[in-house]
Structure 1
Amino acid sequence: MNAKPAIAQFFSVVLHPLIIPTLGFLLLMNSGFYFSMMSFEGKKFLLIIIFLSTFLLPVLSLGLLSFNKHFDATMSKSTDRVLPLFMSAIYYYLGYYYLGRLDVYPIYRVFLLATILIIIMLLLISMKWKISNHMAGIGGLIGAVIALSFRMGINSSMLLCGLIILAGILGTARLILKKHSQLQIYAGFFLGFMVNYLIIIYL
Protein backbone atom coordinates (compact mmCIF):
# COMPACT_ATOMS: atom_id res chain seq x y z
CA MET A 1 0.00 0.00 0.00
CA ASN A 2 1.31 3.43 -0.96
CA ALA A 3 1.84 5.51 2.19
CA LYS A 4 2.13 8.84 0.36
CA PRO A 5 -1.63 9.62 0.19
CA ALA A 6 -2.07 8.73 3.88
CA ILE A 7 0.82 11.01 4.91
CA ALA A 8 -0.46 13.75 2.60
CA GLN A 9 -3.93 13.46 4.13
CA PHE A 10 -2.43 13.67 7.62
CA PHE A 11 -0.70 16.98 6.87
CA SER A 12 -3.82 18.31 5.13
CA VAL A 13 -5.83 17.69 8.30
CA VAL A 14 -3.19 18.83 10.82
CA LEU A 15 -2.52 22.02 8.84
CA HIS A 16 -6.13 22.67 7.86
CA PRO A 17 -6.82 26.41 7.32
CA LEU A 18 -9.34 26.41 10.18
CA ILE A 19 -6.64 25.23 12.60
CA ILE A 20 -3.99 27.72 11.44
CA PRO A 21 -5.29 30.75 13.45
CA THR A 22 -5.22 28.79 16.73
CA LEU A 23 -1.82 27.28 15.93
CA GLY A 24 -0.57 30.72 14.91
CA PHE A 25 -1.66 32.34 18.15
CA LEU A 26 -0.08 29.49 20.14
CA LEU A 27 3.22 29.92 18.29
CA LEU A 28 3.27 33.67 18.67
CA MET A 29 2.44 33.49 22.37
CA ASN A 30 5.73 31.69 22.90
CA SER A 31 8.00 33.40 20.39
CA GLY A 32 8.81 36.81 21.87
CA PHE A 33 6.03 38.86 20.27
CA TYR A 34 3.33 40.86 22.08
CA PHE A 35 1.63 37.73 23.35
CA SER A 36 4.53 36.89 25.65
CA MET A 37 3.64 39.90 27.79
CA MET A 38 0.16 38.58 28.62
CA SER A 39 -0.77 36.73 31.79
CA PHE A 40 -1.58 33.02 31.61
CA GLU A 41 -5.28 33.71 32.21
CA GLY A 42 -5.29 36.36 29.49
CA LYS A 43 -3.67 33.99 27.01
CA LYS A 44 -6.12 31.24 27.88
CA PHE A 45 -9.17 33.45 27.43
CA LEU A 46 -7.80 34.82 24.16
CA LEU A 47 -7.19 31.31 22.84
CA ILE A 48 -10.72 30.23 23.78
CA ILE A 49 -12.19 33.07 21.71
CA ILE A 50 -9.88 32.29 18.77
CA PHE A 51 -10.57 28.54 18.94
CA LEU A 52 -14.34 28.98 19.13
CA SER A 53 -14.64 31.57 16.37
CA THR A 54 -12.06 30.28 13.90
CA PHE A 55 -12.30 26.51 14.39
CA LEU A 56 -15.13 25.04 16.44
CA LEU A 57 -18.06 27.06 15.06
CA PRO A 58 -16.95 26.69 11.39
CA VAL A 59 -16.38 22.93 11.87
CA LEU A 60 -19.81 22.48 13.46
CA SER A 61 -21.38 24.39 10.58
CA LEU A 62 -19.60 22.17 8.06
CA GLY A 63 -20.93 19.15 9.94
CA LEU A 64 -24.47 20.47 9.66
CA LEU A 65 -24.02 21.28 5.97
CA SER A 66 -22.85 17.71 5.30
CA PHE A 67 -26.37 16.49 6.14
CA ASN A 68 -27.65 18.41 3.11
CA LYS A 69 -27.60 16.08 0.11
CA HIS A 70 -26.97 19.03 -2.20
CA PHE A 71 -23.74 19.93 -0.41
CA ASP A 72 -20.52 18.15 -1.46
CA ALA A 73 -18.52 17.72 1.74
CA THR A 74 -15.34 17.07 -0.27
CA MET A 75 -15.76 20.52 -1.87
CA SER A 76 -14.23 19.26 -5.11
CA LYS A 77 -15.64 22.22 -7.04
CA SER A 78 -14.60 25.77 -6.24
CA THR A 79 -18.22 26.88 -5.87
CA ASP A 80 -18.74 24.29 -3.10
CA ARG A 81 -16.46 26.41 -0.94
CA VAL A 82 -18.41 29.65 -1.22
CA LEU A 83 -20.98 28.97 1.53
CA PRO A 84 -18.47 27.52 4.06
CA LEU A 85 -16.18 30.50 3.45
CA PHE A 86 -19.07 32.93 3.91
CA MET A 87 -20.04 31.28 7.21
CA SER A 88 -16.39 31.27 8.35
CA ALA A 89 -16.12 34.99 7.63
CA ILE A 90 -19.11 35.61 9.92
CA TYR A 91 -17.61 33.54 12.75
CA TYR A 92 -14.22 35.17 12.35
CA TYR A 93 -15.89 38.57 12.56
CA LEU A 94 -17.54 37.51 15.83
CA GLY A 95 -14.08 36.69 17.17
CA TYR A 96 -12.86 40.08 15.95
CA TYR A 97 -15.81 41.79 17.67
CA TYR A 98 -15.30 40.06 21.02
CA LEU A 99 -11.57 40.76 21.01
CA GLY A 100 -12.50 44.42 20.66
CA ARG A 101 -14.32 44.19 23.99
CA LEU A 102 -11.21 42.94 25.77
CA ASP A 103 -8.27 44.95 27.07
CA VAL A 104 -5.75 43.45 24.66
CA TYR A 105 -3.20 44.77 22.20
CA PRO A 106 -4.85 46.02 18.97
CA ILE A 107 -2.51 43.78 16.94
CA TYR A 108 -4.64 40.78 17.97
CA ARG A 109 -7.65 42.24 16.19
CA VAL A 110 -5.48 43.16 13.21
CA PHE A 111 -4.62 39.46 12.84
CA LEU A 112 -8.27 38.52 12.61
CA LEU A 113 -9.12 41.49 10.40
CA ALA A 114 -6.46 40.39 7.91
CA THR A 115 -7.73 36.82 8.04
CA ILE A 116 -11.30 37.95 7.40
CA LEU A 117 -10.10 39.86 4.36
CA ILE A 118 -8.29 36.75 3.10
CA ILE A 119 -11.46 34.69 3.52
CA ILE A 120 -13.53 37.25 1.61
CA MET A 121 -10.99 37.26 -1.23
CA LEU A 122 -10.94 33.45 -1.29
CA LEU A 123 -14.74 33.47 -1.41
CA LEU A 124 -14.82 35.83 -4.39
CA ILE A 125 -12.12 33.91 -6.26
CA SER A 126 -13.84 30.57 -5.53
CA MET A 127 -16.92 31.71 -7.44
CA LYS A 128 -14.85 31.33 -10.62
CA TRP A 129 -11.67 29.42 -9.78
CA LYS A 130 -10.40 26.85 -7.29
CA ILE A 131 -7.65 28.42 -5.21
CA SER A 132 -5.91 26.66 -2.31
CA ASN A 133 -7.39 27.65 1.06
CA HIS A 134 -4.77 25.51 2.82
CA MET A 135 -1.90 27.45 1.29
CA ALA A 136 -3.62 30.77 1.94
CA GLY A 137 -3.74 29.83 5.63
CA ILE A 138 -0.08 28.86 6.00
CA GLY A 139 1.01 31.71 3.72
CA GLY A 140 -0.90 34.17 5.87
CA LEU A 141 0.81 32.89 9.01
CA ILE A 142 4.25 33.26 7.43
CA GLY A 143 3.39 36.77 6.23
CA ALA A 144 2.24 37.71 9.72
CA VAL A 145 5.42 36.41 11.38
CA ILE A 146 7.67 38.27 8.91
CA ALA A 147 5.68 41.50 9.31
CA LEU A 148 5.80 41.30 13.11
CA SER A 149 9.51 40.51 13.01
CA PHE A 150 10.16 43.70 11.05
CA ARG A 151 7.86 45.81 13.24
CA MET A 152 9.37 44.64 16.52
CA GLY A 153 12.96 44.00 15.46
CA ILE A 154 12.77 40.36 16.55
CA ASN A 155 14.84 37.59 14.96
CA SER A 156 12.32 34.85 14.21
CA SER A 157 14.45 32.97 11.66
CA MET A 158 14.07 29.58 13.38
CA LEU A 159 10.30 29.91 13.54
CA LEU A 160 10.16 31.06 9.92
CA CYS A 161 12.34 28.17 8.73
CA GLY A 162 9.99 25.72 10.42
CA LEU A 163 6.90 27.35 8.93
CA ILE A 164 8.40 27.48 5.43
CA ILE A 165 9.25 23.77 5.63
CA LEU A 166 5.68 23.03 6.75
CA ALA A 167 4.34 25.16 3.87
CA GLY A 168 6.40 23.11 1.42
CA ILE A 169 5.16 19.85 2.93
CA LEU A 170 1.56 21.08 2.85
CA GLY A 171 1.77 22.23 -0.77
CA THR A 172 3.26 18.88 -1.78
CA ALA A 173 0.53 17.06 0.15
CA ARG A 174 -2.21 18.95 -1.70
CA LEU A 175 -0.56 18.05 -5.02
CA ILE A 176 -0.24 14.38 -4.06
CA LEU A 177 -3.95 14.31 -3.16
CA LYS A 178 -4.68 16.01 -6.52
CA LYS A 179 -6.72 18.69 -4.81
CA HIS A 180 -5.00 21.54 -6.64
CA SER A 181 -2.71 22.42 -9.49
CA GLN A 182 0.66 24.06 -8.85
CA LEU A 183 -0.77 27.42 -9.92
CA GLN A 184 -3.61 27.13 -7.39
CA ILE A 185 -1.08 26.21 -4.68
CA TYR A 186 1.17 29.19 -5.44
CA ALA A 187 -1.77 31.58 -5.82
CA GLY A 188 -3.21 30.59 -2.43
CA PHE A 189 0.13 31.03 -0.68
CA PHE A 190 0.81 34.39 -2.34
CA LEU A 191 -2.66 35.71 -1.49
CA GLY A 192 -2.46 34.76 2.18
CA PHE A 193 1.12 35.97 2.53
CA MET A 194 0.62 39.36 0.89
CA VAL A 195 -2.66 40.26 2.63
CA ASN A 196 -1.39 39.42 6.12
CA TYR A 197 2.03 40.96 5.54
CA LEU A 198 0.74 44.24 4.12
CA ILE A 199 -2.01 44.73 6.70
CA ILE A 200 0.16 43.90 9.72
CA ILE A 201 3.20 45.87 8.54
CA TYR A 202 1.21 49.05 7.82
CA LEU A 203 -1.64 49.06 10.39
Structure 2
Amino acid sequence: MQERLAKAVSYIFHPLLMPTFGFLLLMNTGFYFALISFEAKQFILLTVFAFTFVLPLISIGLMVINSRLKLDLNKSSDRILPMLTTTIFYCIAYYYLGRMPIYPIYRVVLISSALTIAILLLVSFKWKISAHLAGIGGLVGAFMALSFRLNFNGSTLLVALILVAGLIGSSRLILEKHTPMQIYAGFFTGFAVNYLFINFI
Protein backbone atom coordinates (compact mmCIF):
# COMPACT_ATOMS: atom_id res chain seq x y z
CA MET A 1 0.00 0.00 0.00
CA GLN A 2 2.78 2.38 0.95
CA GLU A 3 4.66 1.65 -2.26
CA ARG A 4 1.52 2.19 -4.36
CA LEU A 5 0.96 5.59 -2.77
CA ALA A 6 4.60 6.48 -3.37
CA LYS A 7 4.27 5.53 -7.05
CA ALA A 8 1.08 7.59 -7.36
CA VAL A 9 2.81 10.65 -5.86
CA SER A 10 5.76 10.18 -8.23
CA TYR A 11 3.44 10.07 -11.24
CA ILE A 12 1.22 12.97 -10.17
CA PHE A 13 4.19 15.21 -9.43
CA HIS A 14 6.34 14.09 -12.33
CA PRO A 15 9.09 16.61 -13.18
CA LEU A 16 7.66 17.17 -16.66
CA LEU A 17 4.36 18.33 -15.13
CA MET A 18 5.95 20.94 -12.86
CA PRO A 19 5.94 23.78 -15.43
CA THR A 20 2.22 23.22 -16.06
CA PHE A 21 1.53 23.23 -12.31
CA GLY A 22 3.62 26.36 -11.96
CA PHE A 23 1.75 28.21 -14.67
CA LEU A 24 -1.59 27.15 -13.20
CA LEU A 25 -0.52 28.60 -9.86
CA LEU A 26 0.67 31.81 -11.50
CA MET A 27 -2.69 32.27 -13.16
CA ASN A 28 -4.80 31.50 -10.12
CA THR A 29 -3.02 33.16 -7.22
CA GLY A 30 -3.00 36.77 -6.08
CA PHE A 31 -0.04 37.87 -8.21
CA TYR A 32 -0.84 40.79 -10.48
CA PHE A 33 -0.18 38.84 -13.66
CA ALA A 34 -3.01 36.44 -12.81
CA LEU A 35 -5.40 38.90 -14.45
CA ILE A 36 -5.35 37.78 -18.08
CA SER A 37 -8.19 36.61 -20.30
CA PHE A 38 -9.46 33.03 -20.14
CA GLU A 39 -8.57 32.50 -23.81
CA ALA A 40 -4.99 33.66 -23.22
CA LYS A 41 -4.71 31.35 -20.21
CA GLN A 42 -5.90 28.43 -22.31
CA PHE A 43 -3.37 29.10 -25.06
CA ILE A 44 -0.48 29.56 -22.63
CA LEU A 45 -1.32 26.41 -20.69
CA LEU A 46 -1.76 24.33 -23.84
CA THR A 47 1.59 25.60 -25.17
CA VAL A 48 3.38 24.86 -21.90
CA PHE A 49 1.70 21.45 -21.47
CA ALA A 50 2.49 20.43 -25.06
CA PHE A 51 6.15 21.49 -25.08
CA THR A 52 7.11 20.63 -21.49
CA PHE A 53 5.14 17.39 -21.04
CA VAL A 54 3.55 15.83 -24.13
CA LEU A 55 6.40 16.24 -26.62
CA PRO A 56 9.20 15.35 -24.16
CA LEU A 57 7.20 12.30 -23.07
CA ILE A 58 6.72 11.19 -26.68
CA SER A 59 10.41 11.69 -27.44
CA ILE A 60 11.41 9.63 -24.38
CA GLY A 61 9.01 6.89 -25.48
CA LEU A 62 10.60 6.81 -28.92
CA MET A 63 14.08 6.65 -27.37
CA VAL A 64 13.05 3.70 -25.22
CA ILE A 65 11.69 1.84 -28.28
CA ASN A 66 14.74 2.48 -30.44
CA SER A 67 17.62 2.24 -27.97
CA ARG A 68 18.85 0.52 -24.86
CA LEU A 69 17.32 3.13 -22.57
CA LYS A 70 14.99 1.79 -19.91
CA LEU A 71 11.70 3.53 -19.21
CA ASP A 72 12.47 4.04 -15.51
CA LEU A 73 15.72 5.90 -16.36
CA ASN A 74 17.34 4.58 -13.20
CA LYS A 75 20.90 5.02 -14.48
CA SER A 76 22.17 8.60 -14.54
CA SER A 77 23.62 8.06 -18.02
CA ASP A 78 20.17 7.06 -19.32
CA ARG A 79 18.89 10.52 -18.42
CA ILE A 80 21.31 12.53 -20.56
CA LEU A 81 19.58 12.30 -23.95
CA PRO A 82 16.02 12.69 -22.55
CA MET A 83 17.10 15.77 -20.58
CA LEU A 84 18.79 17.25 -23.63
CA THR A 85 15.68 16.90 -25.80
CA THR A 86 13.49 18.18 -22.96
CA THR A 87 15.65 21.29 -22.64
CA ILE A 88 15.24 21.91 -26.38
CA PHE A 89 11.45 21.63 -26.11
CA TYR A 90 11.46 24.07 -23.19
CA CYS A 91 13.42 26.56 -25.28
CA ILE A 92 10.93 26.19 -28.16
CA ALA A 93 8.08 26.90 -25.71
CA TYR A 94 10.00 29.97 -24.54
CA TYR A 95 10.21 31.16 -28.14
CA TYR A 96 6.48 30.70 -28.76
CA LEU A 97 5.50 32.48 -25.56
CA GLY A 98 7.77 35.33 -26.58
CA ARG A 99 5.54 35.94 -29.59
CA MET A 100 2.54 36.55 -27.35
CA PRO A 101 1.68 39.87 -25.65
CA ILE A 102 1.93 38.44 -22.13
CA TYR A 103 3.75 39.39 -18.96
CA PRO A 104 7.50 38.70 -19.30
CA ILE A 105 7.49 36.77 -16.03
CA TYR A 106 5.95 33.76 -17.79
CA ARG A 107 8.96 33.52 -20.09
CA VAL A 108 11.35 34.06 -17.18
CA VAL A 109 9.77 31.18 -15.25
CA LEU A 110 10.00 28.93 -18.29
CA ILE A 111 13.61 29.71 -19.12
CA SER A 112 14.63 29.22 -15.48
CA SER A 113 13.05 25.76 -15.68
CA ALA A 114 15.04 25.04 -18.84
CA LEU A 115 18.21 26.19 -17.08
CA THR A 116 17.46 23.83 -14.19
CA ILE A 117 17.18 20.88 -16.58
CA ALA A 118 20.41 21.89 -18.30
CA ILE A 119 22.20 21.80 -14.95
CA LEU A 120 20.67 18.42 -14.11
CA LEU A 121 21.88 17.23 -17.50
CA LEU A 122 25.47 18.23 -16.69
CA VAL A 123 25.30 16.61 -13.25
CA SER A 124 23.91 13.41 -14.77
CA PHE A 125 27.16 12.80 -16.63
CA LYS A 126 28.70 11.90 -13.26
CA TRP A 127 25.92 11.44 -10.71
CA LYS A 128 22.25 10.60 -10.36
CA ILE A 129 20.33 13.60 -9.00
CA SER A 130 16.61 13.76 -8.26
CA ALA A 131 14.71 15.49 -11.06
CA HIS A 132 11.47 15.14 -9.07
CA LEU A 133 12.87 17.21 -6.23
CA ALA A 134 14.50 19.67 -8.62
CA GLY A 135 11.05 20.26 -10.11
CA ILE A 136 9.26 20.96 -6.84
CA GLY A 137 12.29 22.84 -5.52
CA GLY A 138 12.07 25.05 -8.59
CA LEU A 139 8.45 25.88 -7.81
CA VAL A 140 9.32 26.77 -4.21
CA GLY A 141 12.20 28.97 -5.35
CA ALA A 142 10.16 30.65 -8.07
CA PHE A 143 7.24 31.57 -5.84
CA MET A 144 9.48 32.69 -3.00
CA ALA A 145 11.31 35.00 -5.41
CA LEU A 146 8.02 36.36 -6.77
CA SER A 147 6.73 36.96 -3.25
CA PHE A 148 9.78 39.07 -2.45
CA ARG A 149 9.81 40.92 -5.78
CA LEU A 150 6.12 41.81 -5.69
CA ASN A 151 5.83 42.25 -1.91
CA PHE A 152 3.12 39.61 -1.92
CA ASN A 153 2.33 37.38 1.05
CA GLY A 154 2.61 33.92 -0.46
CA SER A 155 3.33 32.10 2.81
CA THR A 156 0.34 29.74 2.55
CA LEU A 157 1.29 28.66 -0.96
CA LEU A 158 4.94 28.23 -0.02
CA VAL A 159 4.08 26.08 3.01
CA ALA A 160 1.86 23.91 0.80
CA LEU A 161 4.63 23.51 -1.79
CA ILE A 162 7.19 22.61 0.89
CA LEU A 163 4.81 19.96 2.27
CA VAL A 164 4.42 18.57 -1.25
CA ALA A 165 8.21 18.53 -1.57
CA GLY A 166 8.44 16.47 1.61
CA LEU A 167 5.81 14.08 0.26
CA ILE A 168 7.66 13.67 -3.04
CA GLY A 169 11.01 13.18 -1.31
CA SER A 170 9.56 10.53 0.99
CA SER A 171 8.01 8.75 -1.99
CA ARG A 172 11.31 8.62 -3.86
CA LEU A 173 13.00 7.18 -0.78
CA ILE A 174 10.27 4.57 -0.29
CA LEU A 175 10.66 3.50 -3.92
CA GLU A 176 14.46 3.44 -3.42
CA LYS A 177 14.97 5.61 -6.50
CA HIS A 178 17.36 7.99 -4.76
CA THR A 179 19.55 8.41 -1.73
CA PRO A 180 18.80 11.25 0.72
CA MET A 181 21.75 13.21 -0.67
CA GLN A 182 20.43 12.96 -4.24
CA ILE A 183 17.05 14.21 -3.02
CA TYR A 184 18.49 17.17 -1.10
CA ALA A 185 20.77 18.04 -4.01
CA GLY A 186 17.85 17.97 -6.45
CA PHE A 187 15.65 20.18 -4.28
CA PHE A 188 18.29 22.81 -3.58
CA THR A 189 19.47 22.87 -7.20
CA GLY A 190 15.95 23.58 -8.42
CA PHE A 191 15.33 26.06 -5.61
CA ALA A 192 18.58 27.99 -6.07
CA VAL A 193 18.40 28.26 -9.87
CA ASN A 194 14.80 29.47 -9.94
CA TYR A 195 15.05 31.74 -6.92
CA LEU A 196 18.22 33.48 -8.10
CA PHE A 197 17.16 33.70 -11.76
CA ILE A 198 13.68 35.07 -11.08
CA ASN A 199 14.73 37.35 -8.25
CA PHE A 200 17.60 39.03 -10.09
CA ILE A 201 16.70 38.88 -13.80
TM-score of the two chains, using structure 1 as the length reference: 0.97
Q: Which residue of 2 aligns with 1:53?
A: 51
Matching residue of 1:155? 153
Cα displacement (A) at 1:158: 1.1
Distance 2:197 2:68 in 1: 37
2:152 alignment partner, SS class: coil
Instruction: Give the C-alpha shift of residue 69 in structure 1.
Output: 4.5
Secondary structure of the residue aligned to 1:112 is: helix
Matched residues in 2 for 1:117 and 1:70: separation? Answer: 27
The equivalent of 1:25 in structure 2 is: 23
Letter in 1 for 2:140: I
- Which residue of 2 is the match for residue 72 of structure 1? 70
C-alpha distance in 2 between matches for 1:114 and 1:27: 16
Query: What is the one-letter code of the residue matched to 2:95?
Result: Y
- Equivalent residue runs for 1:108-187 within 5 Å: 108-187=106-185
TM-score by length of 2: 0.98
**Amino acid corresponding to residue 105 of structure 2 in structure 1:** I
Q: Distance in 2 between matches of 1:69 and 1:154?
A: 48
Q: 1:154, 1:86 → 2: CA distance?
A: 35
Q: Which runs of no fewer than 5 residues in structure 1 stay unpaired?
A: none
Larger helix percent: 2
Matched residues in 1 for 2:155 and 2:7: separation? Answer: 28
Partner of 2:104: 106
Q: Distance in 2 between matches of 1:116 and 1:147?
A: 17
Render the CA deviation track for 1:138-157: whole Å, top value 9, x for unaligned. Answer: 00000000000011111111
Aligned-residue offset at 1:13: 0.3
Alpha-carbon RMSD across the aligned residues, in angstroms, is 0.8
Structure 1 runs of 4+ with >3 Å offset: none
Q: Deviations over 1:43-83 (max 9, x none)?
A: 11111110111011001111111212411111111000000
Aligned residues: 201
Letter in structure 1 aligned against 2:25: L
Q: Aligned equivalents of 1:176 and 1:68: distance in 2?
A: 31
Q: Are the aligned partners of 1:35 and 1:43 in contact in 2 as well (CA < 8 Å)?
A: no
